[in-house]
Amino acid sequence: MTTLHSRKSIDRSPLRRTMAGSGVAPSVTANKQTTQIGQPIMHFNSRIRNFSLAAVIGCVALLSVGAASAQQPIAPAATLEVAPATIVDAQPNYVMEQPVPPREIPFRPTMDRTAYDAAKARAANSYAPGAVKPFTEAFAPLATPFIKLTNFNAHSSTEGLRPPDTHGAVGTTHFVQITNSHIDMWTRQNTQVLPLAKSVTLATFFNYTAQTLFDPRVVYDSTWNRWIVTAEAFPESTTVQRFFIGVSTSADPTSSFFIYNVNVNFFGNNNFFDFPQLGMDQDAVLITANIFNGNTFLGADFFAVAKARLYNGLGFSVPVFTGLVGTLAPPIVRDQNASTFLIAAPPEGTTLSKYRATNTSKTPTTLVGPVNVSVPAYTVPPSAHQPGTTKLLDTSDSRFVNASTQNGVDLWQTHTIALGSFPSPKFYRLNTSTNTVRQSGFYFASGTSDDFNASIAANDASDCFVTYTSTDASVGTNAQIRLSGKLSGDAGISAGPNAFTSITFYHPSADNPERWGDYSAVTTDPLNAANAWLVNEKVNAGGLLWGSRIVRFGF
C-alpha cells in the first residue's frame, strides 16, 4: 500500500485555440498527489445515472425492426458521469508491480460460441494442401508503396501476455507503441532504428495495479497535437471493471497525461467490457466495446466525449448507447463532417451495419441506425498454417479490428474473411451517402499464402495504406509483416513488399491455434501525406515469444 506524502496544486493551461462547436476551451486547476518516490496516486470516480429500462428495451427493439424504423434515433440506456482527471507523469526508470497476468487473453466471439466453433471448423475443413486461391479480381498495374528507411524491432513480450494487441500511432515528434501491457515512445527521426525515449508498463503509465491491463489503443490528434491512450482492466468485482483514458497535456508523449479512471460495468451486473476501440471526429473522442455476460454477447456499447473536456482534464457527463451490432468500429474523421459513421461487420453474412452519430461533443448526442450496406457474402476465415508444424495461428472472426478512416463520403475499412480455403483481408471504400461500396477487393501475398491481422488507414487524397500478417506453409514462409496500399484511382491493392520474415514458427503454448494479433495498426503521417507508419506482430527467435516491428512506408 502506497503512503500519501504530499499534495500540490497544478495549473492546467487551456488549449491554444477554440474547439469548433464547443466554445472557448476552458482551463482547470486540480490537485496532484505524490508518494515519497514521486509517483502520483489517482483518486477519481465514475458513476452512471438516469437508468431507463424503457430505453434499454427501446434499443433492443430498434435492432429487430425493419430498416425504415431503424432510422429512428436510438435512446441511450444511461448517462455516464466521470470526475475530473488526475495528472500522471510516469517515470521511465520506475516500474510498478502488477498482478500476475493470465498467460493468454481469451478471444470472445460475438456469435454463439458453439456456432463460432462450428464456423471455424467448416473453414478448416476446406483446407487442402497444394490448393491455390480462387480467381478474384484482375487489375491493371497498381502503384505499390515501399519501405522508407525506418524498419526496426520494437517491443517484445516481457509481461507474459499473449496476444500482444500491438497498436501504435505516429505524431510530429514521436511514434508511440502500446501492447499488452506496455507503452513505448520512440523519438522520430530519419533513421532505420528510432531511439527509445520512454518505456513503461501500463500499470506504471496509468498508475493502477489492482488488475492486469490489456486491449490497449493509441491515436494522435494532429489538429490539437494530443495523444489519446486507452486500456481496460480485468474486473475487480462483479460490479467494477476499470477502463482508462489518458490524454497528453502537450504534443510530447513522454511528458504528463490526464488520466481518467472509468467504471465500465455500467449496470453493476457482472457484465464484461471487451475489445474497446478508439476513434475521434472533429470535436469528440469515440469509444466502442463489446459487452458480455459470461459467454453471452449482449451487444456493443458506444459513447463519445468532447475533446474540449478531455484535453483540459475536466469531468464529463455523456450518454451511453447499448445493444448495438457487435465489434462496432468508430472512425478517425479527417474532415469537418457533422455526421460520424460507425460500422460493424457481423461474423458472416451479406451486409455491413452502419450507424450515424451527430452532436458527439454536445448534449444530446444522437445515434441512428443500423443501415445495411450490401456486400458479397462472406464467412469467418480459417486459421493460418505455419511451415514445419501442425501449429496454426488464430485469425479471429470477420470483425473490423481497428478504427475506420472517414473523409467526405468515404469510409475505409478492412477485415479478414475466407477466400476459398484461405484467410484473406478484404478492403472496403464505402459511400456513406448512398450506403454502397465504391471500391473493394482482396489483397494477399501470393496464391498460396494465408493472410490476416490487417489494418487500414487513408489520407486526405483518398490514398490508402494497409499492413497485414502472412504465412505460406507451402513454400516454408513463417509469419511475415507485410505492407501495401493503393492510390485513389487504383482499383485494388497489390501484395506489396515484405517488411520482415520471422525465422521460426510460433509455438508458445499447447494451444492450437495459437492466439495472434488481436490487431495491428497503421496510421498516416501528419508531416507527409504520402507516408504511413505501421506496427505489427512477429515471432522472436525460438518461437516462444512474440515481438513487434515498426515500419515507415509510402508512395
Domains by residue range for the chain, with CATH = 6-329+336-364+381-554 (2.130.10.10)
Interval 497-516: pLDDT, tens: 999 999 999 999 999 999 99
Query: Are 304 and 32 contacting, i.e. CB atoms less than 8 angstroms apart?
Result: no
pLDDT-above-90 percentage for the chain: 80
Residue with cell 463520403: 409
Tell me how far apart the alpha carbons of residues 231 and 247 are, in angstroms, rounded to a whole number.
12
How far out from the chain centre does Cα 19 lie?
A: 25
CA distance 452 to 442: 11
Summarize pLDDT for 80-120 with one digit per residue, the tens. 999 999 999 877 766 666 666 667 889 999 999 999 999 99
With a cut of 60, say whether residue 32 has pLDDT above it.
no
Task: Report, as an integer, the average pLDDT of 176-198.
Answer: 97
**3-state SS class at 115:** helix
- For residue 468, pLDDT over 80 is answered with yes
Q: What would the mean pLDDT of 240-260 be, rounded to a whole number?
A: 98
423 CB-near residues (< 8 Å, 6+ apart) = 381, 382, 383, 384, 395, 416, 417, 450, 451, 452
What are the C-alpha distances in Å from 553 to residues 187, 334, 440, 516?
17, 20, 22, 23
Q: What would the pLDDT profile of 400-414 be if each residue is shown by its tens digit? A: 999 999 999 999 999
In this predicted structure, what is the pLDDT of residue 80?
97
Closest CA to 185 of 154, 156, 222: 154
Q: Where residue 77 falls among pLDDT bands split at 50, 70, 90?
A: very high
Q: Is the dihedral of CA 278, 92, 235, 78 positive or negative?
A: negative
What is the spatial distance between Cα 469 and Cα 498, in angstroms, rounded to a whole number?
Answer: 10
Q: What does the DSSP assignment read for 262-311?
A: EE--TTSSS-EEEEEEEEE-SSEEEEEEEEEETTEEEEEEEEEEEHHHHT
Residue 247 has phi, psi (to 5 degrees) of: -130, 125
Which one, of 285, 280, 288, lies nearest residue 344 by Cα? 288
Query: What is the 3-class SS of 197-225, one letter each residue?
Result: EEEEEHHHHHCCCCCCEEEEEEEEECCCC
Q: Is residue 218 within 8 Å of 169, Cβ to Cβ?
A: yes
Q: Give me the pLDDT at residue 263, please.
A: 98
Q: Closest Cα partner for 354 from 455, 287, 437?
A: 437
Q: Cis peptide before 181, with omega less than 30 degrees from 0?
A: yes
Beta-strand pair 404-407/331-333? parallel
pLDDT of residue 98: 60
pLDDT at 12: 35
Residue matched to cell numbers 475533446: 307
CA 455 → CA 26, 303, 400, distances in Å?
A: 36, 23, 9
* pLDDT tens per residue, range 203-234: 999 999 999 999 999 999 999 999 999 999 99
Single-letter residue type at 546? W
| Pick from 303, 74, 327, 88: nearest CA to 202 | 88
Closest CA to 176 of 554, 553, 550: 550
CA nearest neighbour of 448 among 471, 425, 468? 471
Q: What is the mean pLDDT of the chain?
A: 88
* DSSP code per residue over 156-177: ---S--BS---EEEE-SSEEEE
- 537 pLDDT band, cuts 50/70/90, is very high
pLDDT at 463: 98
CA dihedral 431, 435, 436, 437 (to 10 degrees): 50
Residue in 546, 535, 534 with CA at minimum distance from that of residue 394: 546
Label residue 470 by pLDDT band (50, 70, 90).
very high
For residue 518, give the amino acid letter. Answer: D
Q: How many CB atoms lie within 10 A of CB 103?
A: 12
CA 165-169-174 angle, to 5 degrees, is 125
pLDDT tens profile 413-465: 999 999 999 999 999 999 999 999 999 999 999 999 999 999 999 999 999 99
Pairing between β-strand 174-179 and β-strand 182-187 as defined by DSSP bridges:
antiparallel
Question: What share of the chain in percent tops pLDDT 70?
Answer: 85
- Chain-centroid distance of CA 311 in Å reads 20
Query: Which residue, among 166, 163, 160, has the nearest Cα to 184 in the 3D structure?
Result: 166
Contacts of 241 (CB under 8 A, 6+ apart): 232, 233, 234, 235, 263, 264, 265, 271, 272, 273
Whether residue 518 has pLDDT greater than 90: yes
Query: In this predicted structure, what is the pLDDT of residue 218?
Result: 99
User: Do the Cβ atoms of 156 and 545 come closer than 8 Å?
Assistant: yes
- Which helix (H) or strand (E) covers residue 62, if one does? helix 53-64
Asked if residue 320 has pLDDT above 50, the reply is yes
pLDDT of residue 48: 59
- Residue 221's nearest CA partner among 169, 186, 259 is 169
Q: What span, in angstroms and rounded, lies between the C-alpha atoms of 96 and 90?
A: 10
pLDDT tens readout for residues 265-276: 999 999 999 999
Cα atoms in the 13 Å half-sphere on the side-chain side of 319? 20
Mean of pLDDT values over 323-328: 98
At 142, the pLDDT band (50, 70, 90 cuts) reads: confident
What are the backbone dihedrals phi and psi of residue 270, each rounded to the nearest 5 degrees, phi first? 65, 20
